[in-house]
Amino acid sequence: MSSFHPPLRPTPPTSHMAVAPRTITPLDTRAVTVSTLAFPLSADETAARVRVALLEDEAFNDISTLATVVSTRHVRCSIVARRDGVIAGIPLAVDAFRQLDANVTIRIEAEDGTRVKAGDTVMALTGHARGMLSAERTALNFLQHLSGIATLTCRFADAVQGTGAQILDTRKTTPGWRTLEKYAVRAGGGTNHRLDLRSGVLIKDNHLAAIGGDIAMAVARARALALTGTPVQVECDTLAQVDAAVAAGADWVLLDNMSLDQLREAVSRCRGRVVTEASGGVALDTVRAIADTGVDRISIGALTHSAPALDLGLDFDGL
C-alpha cells in the first residue's frame, strides 16, 4: 500500500546521548550502523556515496597534507559542536575517515538524533594525521549539512509541542540528497511527507488549472489510477475548494497560504472527515499560531532547502 509516509516514524531528538558511547575499531565491520534511527543507506551505499565525495575533493591526492605531514604521524582529534543543535550524518562522517585511514579508531559521543550543546564532543578519533586531514572537509560537509536540517526541524517541532500538529518536510530537497535530507528531518523529530511523485497523489493548483479547476474529476481520476489505499490530497487556496475536495472524497487537504482565520474555519469544516495540512511561508515565529488553529500537519520546505549548516569543527591534539 502506498503512503505519504514511510513506515519509519520520527524519532524525537533527546537532550542527552541517544546511547552509551560506542567505539569503532579497525576490525568493526558495522561501523555505520546507527541504533536509534534507521539510516537510509546500506553500508555499501554509504561507502559509495562517501567515495564519490572524497574523489570530488581529490582527498586521495591531498598535496597540502602530503607535503607537510609525515606518513607516520599519529594524532588524536575530536569533532566538536560550536553551536547547540541536533546531530545527523554520523555514518557518513565515520566512513569518510575510515576510507582515508582503515586503522582509525573512533568513539561516537553523539549518535544521530542527539541534541548537543556548544562545546560538546560529537566524535573522538585516533589515527594517522594524513587520513584525518584529508577526510576532514568531506566528513564535516556531510555532518554539518544534515545536522543543520535536523537542528532546524527540531526547532519547529519544539515550537508546536503540545498542539498535536506534526512537522512535515517537502520534496524541496537537493537533487541526489533526498533520502539523506529526509532522514535528517526524522533525526530532528519531524515526519516525512511523500518521498517522491509515486508515493502518493497530491493534486496541486497547476494540476487543477490544467483541467479547468474540476476537483471532483481530478479526485475521481486519481482514485481510478492509483493503487487501492493510496492517499489522495488536494491543494486548496480557498474554503470553497476545501468543501469541494471533501465532497469529492479526498483524504487530505493542503491549505495553501491561508490566513489563521481561514485555517480555523477549514479545520472546522474538515474535522473528522479529512486530514488537514497547512503550508506556505511557515516560519519559526508563526508556526505555533498555525498549529493552534488545529491543523493536523504543517509542511515546511525550508527544512531542507534553507537550513543553515550546523557549526561543527575538527580540533586536533598531538599524540
Please report the beta strands in the chain, taking only residues with DSSP state E, as ranges in sequence order: 22-24, 74-81, 85-86, 105-108, 115-116, 121-128, 166-168, 201-203, 232-236, 252-256, 275-279, 297-299, 312-318
Q: Distance of CA 54 to CAs 32, 153, 186, 236, Å?
A: 17, 28, 26, 45
Element (H, E) at 195: none
Yes or no: say if 102 and 96 are a contact pair by the CB < 8 Å rule.
Answer: no
Yes or no: say if 105 and 125 are a contact pair by the CB < 8 Å rule.
Answer: yes
Yes or no: say if 207 and 177 are a contact pair by the CB < 8 Å rule.
Answer: no
Catalytic residue among 95, 111, 235, 251: 235
Yes or no: say if 253 and 236 are a contact pair by the CB < 8 Å rule.
Answer: yes
Catalytic residue among 22, 51, 204, 269: 204
Strand 312-318 relative to strand 74-81: parallel, antiparallel, unpaired?
A: antiparallel
Could you identify the residue written with the cell 534507521? 38
* Catalytic residue status for 136: no
Catalytic residue among 107, 137, 223, 269: 137
Catalytic residue among 51, 83, 107, 172: 172
Other CB atoms closer than 10 Å to residue 294's CB: what's the count?
18
Yes or no: say if 129 and 73 are a contact pair by the CB < 8 Å rule.
Answer: yes
Q: Identify the CA nearest to 252 among candidates 181, 194, 191, 305.
A: 194
* Catalytic residue status for 82: no
* Catalytic residue status for 56: no
* Catalytic residue status for 137: yes
Catalytic residue among 169, 256, 277, 296: 256
Residue 293's contacts (CB-CB under 8 Å, 6 or more residues apart) are: 260, 263, 264, 267, 278
Other CB atoms closer than 10 Å to residue 119's CB: what's the count?
10
* Catalytic residue status for 172: yes
In angstroms, the CA 251 to CA 249 distance is 6
Q: What is the DSSP letter of 238?
A: S
Which residues are part of the catalytic machinery?
Answer: 137, 172, 204, 235, 256
